[in-house]
Structure 1
Amino acid sequence: MPLERKRRGTVWRTLRTSPSAQISLYFLAFAMLIGLYTYIFHSLYPILENKPIQWSEALLFVVESMATVGYGWLLPFHNDLTRLLTIQIMLSGVIMIFIVVPLLLAPFLTTLLAPTPPRRTPHALKGHIVVIGYDEITRSLIESLMISDHEIVIIEEDKASALEIGARFRHRAYVIWGDYMDTATWASAHVDDAEYIVICKDERLTANIVLGIRQLTGGKIISVVDKLSFDRYLRYAGADYVLSPKHATGRILANHAVLNPAADAMPDIPGLDRLYISAADHQQRELRLINIPIVTGCMAAGKTLMELSLMGRYGILVPFIWKAGTFIPDPSESEIVDGSTSLFLFGTADAVANAIKIEFDPDGCMESRAVIAGFGDVGASAYSEMQSAGISCTVVDSKKHEIHDQVVGNAEDESILKDARIDLAQYCIVALNNDDVNIFTTLMARNMNPSIRILARANEPKTVDKLYRAGADYVALLPTIGGQIIGRIVLSDIVTILLDLPDGNIVVMKHITTKNVRTTVGHIKRVSGARILGIEAANRTIVAPEPDELLKEGDAVVAVGDAMQLKRFIHAI
């Protein structure tokens, strides 16, 4: 009895959950009903109408009546019972075809005919990029890769999301719908021949994926994590790079507040060493692109770019600046440098170091203080960077931490910000995990200290503009920074990314490897549209080269432009 009950339960669950079983049952019932009516009509028609009828004629009449397309070839009927039987057959047909079919078949047919994301790429790939999981970081990465010819495969587990992503990137990436942990999905994405595999999922799932694909591929595996403390575990699992956008965002916020002469660039990230100056760089002729925030009271403060004459005095170019929360590419000589300004200095390491010492050296200014709102991963990273630069920091956080100077409380509370002495601070780093709290904290900080320099974190793209309107001088969008850092690694064999600019342009360095190259700076600019900032070689370094300057094998050319301009620039040299 229990076995029989279990068998009945299995049949019942199948009928309840399987559309194909339901449709099969429907057609079986429909066929049985047609057979029953055919038998009844064949038996009763000769009795009621006193006319003989063949089985095929009875079947044809029943099907015509149930389909409501009867041709009337048996009319007229002389018996009311025949008419009633015909009406019954027609009503049964109407119910079965026009009511049951939409209820039962329509959902199934809708699902059957609905667009389905592909399960594999249309052809075999090699040397491509596989991205497992889609989010804002992935979107930013794909935008960074637009300057290259890399083929990209995105694996997405959710069907609806896979369809949406496929529509968005149909001309730039292949999208595969499949289980992240399924070896068939990995095979469909050709991970064994991929150059890079980027995993943008939570740490536990990432660890499982890394352990699964490490033995399948010789490509480099990049794991994007929320907390950098998981670094050693994921590296042990087989990841080649473990990146934390939060850690990088904190450093970037701090570096927009103050220059750190002793800063050590993240060694795994190509190009970041070009954004820092250290004591060892003073005698070097390598090109650097350094962000210099202007501290009120320094020698440069209050002067115009013409008065500073950095090109004439130091051989340094100022290709772009930040001023009061606005990014200005190719600024005019009349721009005034003040406490709301950050300059990007481009020149040789020794020239930049000399200019910093004379014009921008923080040691020659009043003691600087900073208030850091939020002490999570972003805030802690910014705090460490600021402390290394010799900036006194007061942390505002709702949790107590083992640090020297902290005010425990909510950064949205005016009394808490007063206790943190925000009115005396030169910098405020807003690094909380909630965009709404960041916006309100920025508003309060700007109102309580109009001259303070505010560097804020954003988690969602829609928040960036609101933070600027609230009074932020610089906003770091965390997902964008994560995607750009991955892009630096993936593109390192083709080009070195120095800086991603907020207007969508990118500063890159490209080495000329072609022998017997005979081209000029002016020609490269004409064919690509990119702006050439400088040339670096073993025996020469040129800032802002003239159009007739000849490019040679072994030269490293620094250029700035949008994705299509840089793509043409890379192909041109």
Structure 2
Amino acid sequence: MVYRLSSRTWRFLILVMVTTVIFTVAYNIGMARWENRPQSMIQSLEVVFQSFTTTGYGQDAPWETPQMNILVIGMQLAGVGLILAAINAVIVPWLRSAFQPSLPTDPVTLEDHVVICGVTPRTESFASEMDTRGKEYVIVESDFEIATELYEAGQTVVHGDPEVVTTLEQASVDKAAAVVVDASDDVNASIILSVREINSEVTTIAVTEDRELREYQRIAGADELLSPRQLLGESLAVRAKTATMSIVENRMEITDDLELAEISVTEESPFCNTTLADCRFHKRYGVTVVGAWDKNEFIRLPSSDFKVEETTHLLIAGTSDSVNDLQAGLRSTSHRRIPQRVLIAGYGESGAAAKKALSEEDMAVTVLDTEDKSGVDIVGDARQPDVLQEAGIEDVSAVIVTVSNDTTAIFTTLIASDMNPDAEIIVRAIEEENTTKLYRAGAATVEALATISGQMIATTIFDDSPLTSFKAQILTASVTSDYLSGKTVAEAERKTDMNPLIIIRNGNAIFEFDPDSFILETGDMIVGKG
């Protein structure tokens, strides 16, 4: 195994050289001027090394003048400091490297796999999607430490620069089904060109941020350009539109005979403040309630006495015709307040996409941002109560928060929910781990950018359509290998981090099952909450 010097080690070596030169020159001058014992520079260097390594001072000791004794004391202290620094900068990294497993250098032997270039929160979310689906993938990572961590975690990893053809060849791009690139726009283009040099037919997907530079990635050879922030903005707009009406949304076809959909319950809904038994979904429309989000908690197969309240979201399953009947019934009983007023705090790509989607519904939209630019109505900080008041926070039915970072989003949510407790606070989270904080701050809906990104990539590659739910993602997993086949539903839940809701077996939907005893078989499909 070849040991690679880290940047910290290089900095330490430079410090040793600089310190040695300074003390060598100082000692040489001191011996000549203060001790009247001139010597060669090489002799002075020898004494400095003797001092740093605590091996003695040889023929030069003792020294007569105070100045030289102080200089020697300084050399001794510097030597002790360098020894302590060496432990942290050289010895510990060397020992860690010595006991680390060597990264593989042979080409991977997979076929029809997905090559992921770059480790980001978005590609990590996509990798989780791949694990859920039981699909194979290879991660190409240039950072040695990150690549080692992934390898030790059991991931298939190629360490190297994804812009280099030989690295991509080691990842078997020539046999891959798709390549996902997620780096800066210029690096993305370079990687895509390298991919095309190896495999001109492989599907290449680029995650991009800068709208002005997207076309150049397509010129480089990208088949699909994904903009998660834009999609997320549109998704947030959907949440705002349902703030004062009950509709069936996010329909997802599971099989030819089964669909999933979500019902957003509001104050005007005919189901508000009733029990599921009173709603009679199955008798009226032929649909089954398989889950519910209530007070930020997901409930699988809620009981008949479950009380449906304002802001409850129901997950229903049924045939396409039965879901159509339910949708028609809700439209005939819904009473919208026209126009709704929505406040958008933060006017980046997500905020602009949300405004566009809401404007198409003839809704009154007010945009608040810190920058005075086209499309912004109120300029100011959303964390200031007087600015929110100027933007009409007290009169809106929904607030969409797409500010630049999660810390600002959390504080904005706290203030907005306090100033208008009745408003639906809908927030974009940059980091998934901040989702819980945002709910506690008063958000009714939080959608994480990384989660949406991972689902977008998976949807593009596998040509399916994940359901973006109110407070979770509905995912599907096919039982195609020993990874899940022969396991109980409870074991599958632990392996996939997915709460199974429905098992599809031989075209039949199974809603009620014991997770600890129900055994999965090859060919089954699991529908669950991720």
Alpha-carbon contact 2:479-2:526 (below 8 Å) kept: no
- AA aligned to 1:194 is A
Q: Under a length normalisation based on structure 1, what TM-score does the superposition of the two structures give?
A: 0.65
SS in 1 for 2:315: strand
Aligned match of 2:391: 420
2:475 and 2:283 map into 1 onto residues whose CA distance is: 23
Root-mean-square deviation (CA, aligned residues, Å) is: 4.6
Q: What is the distance in 2 between the residues matched to 1:275 and 1:410?
A: 42
Tell me how far 1:432 sits from its aligned partner: 0.9
Equivalence for 1:135 = 120
Gap runs ≥5 in structure 2: 1-9, 17-54, 60-78, 481-486, 494-498, 514-522
Normalised by the length of structure 2, the TM-score is: 0.69
User: Which residue of structure 2 aligns with residue 483 of structure 1?
Assistant: 454
Provide the secondary structure at the position in 1 that maps to 2:410. helix
SS at match of 1:221: strand
Question: Among residues 225, 228, 232, which one is paired with 1:245 in the alignment?
Answer: 228
Post-superposition offset of 1:398: 2.2
The 5 A counterparts of 1:143-158 are 143-158=128-143
Mapping 1:156-555, distance limit 5 Å: 156-167=141-152, 170-171=153-154, 173-217=155-199, 218-258=201-241, 274=252, 287-359=258-330, 364-367=335-338, 368-403=340-375, 406-490=377-461, 492=462, 496=464, 498-499=466-467, 506-508=474-476, 533=502
Q: Is the 8 A contact 2:12 2:85 kept in 1?
A: no
SS in 2 for 1:440: helix
How far the C-alpha of 1:430 sits from its partner, in A, is 0.9
CA distance in 2, matches of 1:451, 1:297: 14
Deviation at 1:506, TM superposition (A): 4.5
How far residue 472 of structure 1 moved from its aligned partner, in angstroms, is: 0.6
| Pairwise CA distance, 1:223 | 0.8
Q: Give deviations 1:343-382, integer Å, cap 9, x for gaps.
A: 2233233432332332356862222222111111111222
SS in 1 for 2:302: coil
Q: Look at both structures and tell me which one has the larger radius of gyration over its CA atoms.
A: 1
Tell me the distance in 1 between the aligned counterparts of 2:473 and 2:211.
29
C-alpha displacement of 1:525: 7.1
1:446-477 C-alpha deviation (Å, 9 max, x unpaired): 11111211111111233111111100111111
- SS of 1:125's partner is coil
Bigger drift between 114-123 and 438-447 goes to 114-123
Alpha-carbon distance in structure 1 between the residues aligned to 2:415 and 2:470: 25
Secondary structure at 1:239 match in 2: coil
Shift of 1:187: 2.1
The one-character-per-residue Cα deviations of 1:106-153 (angstroms, maximum 9, x if unpaired) are: 877776665278564555323222211112112211211113443332
How big is the shift at 1:409? 2.0
Deviations 1:282-341 (A, max 9, x none): xx9764323332232232322222211112210122222223333333223333333322
Can you list the C-alpha shifts for 1:524-554, whole angstroms capped at 9, x where unaligned?
97997885748799xxx9766789xxxxxxx
CA–CA distance in structure 2, aligned partners of residues 242 and 136 of structure 1: 18
Quick one: which amino acid aligns to residue 249 of structure 1? L
Equivalent position SS for 1:508: strand
Cα distance change of structure 1 residues 536 and 400 upon mapping to structure 2, 3 Å threshold: farther
AA aligned opposite 1:373:
A
Q: By how many angstroms is 1:499 displaced?
A: 3.3
Q: 1:200 to 1:526 in 2, by over 3 A?
A: closer
Q: Which residue identity lines up with residue 226 of structure 1 in the other structure?
A: E
In structure 2, what residue type is equivalent to 1:205? V
Letter in 1 for 2:270: M
Q: 1:370/1:195 Cα in 2 relative to 1: closer, same or farther (>3 Å)?
A: same
Partner of 2:163, secondary structure, is coil
Q: Kindly indicate whether the alpha-carbon contact (under 8 Å) linking 1:157 and 1:178 is maintained by their aligned counterparts in 2.
A: yes
C-alpha contact (below 8 Å) 2:272/2:309 kept by paired residues: yes
* C-alpha distance in structure 1 between counterparts of 2:354 and 2:270, whole Å: 26
**Alpha-carbon distance in 2 for matches of 1:346, 1:390:** 31
Structure 2 residue matching 1:475: 3-state secondary structure: strand
Structure 1 residues 499 and 117: alpha-carbon distance in aligned structure 2, compared to 1, 3 A threshold:
farther
Change (3 A) 1:137 1:346: same
CA distance in 2, matches of 1:470, 1:526: 32
Instruction: Note the alpha carbon deviations across 1:13-35, whole angstroms, 9 max, x for none.
Output: xxx9999xx9xxxxxxxxxxxxx
CA distances 1:82-112 after superposition (whole Å, capped 9, x unpaired): xx99xxxxxxxxxxxx99x989998777766
Cα distance in 2 for residues equivalent to 1:402 and 1:287:
45
Paired residue secondary structure (2:252): helix
Contact 2:206 2:224 in 1 (8 A): yes
Deviation at 1:208, TM superposition (A): 1.3
Residue identity (%) = 28
Residues 400 and 426 of structure 2 are in contact (CA less than 8 Å); yes or no, is this contact kept in structure 1?
Answer: yes
Secondary structure of the corresponding residue to residue 181 of structure 1:
coil
Say if 1:118 and 1:176, in contact at 8 Å, map to a contact too. no
What is the alpha-carbon distance in structure 2 between the residues aligned to residue 439 and residue 386 of structure 1?
Answer: 23
Work out which of the residue numbers 101, 108, 132 in structure 2 matches 1:124: 108
How many angstroms does 1:509 deviate by? 7.4
Give the total of aligned pairs.
Answer: 441
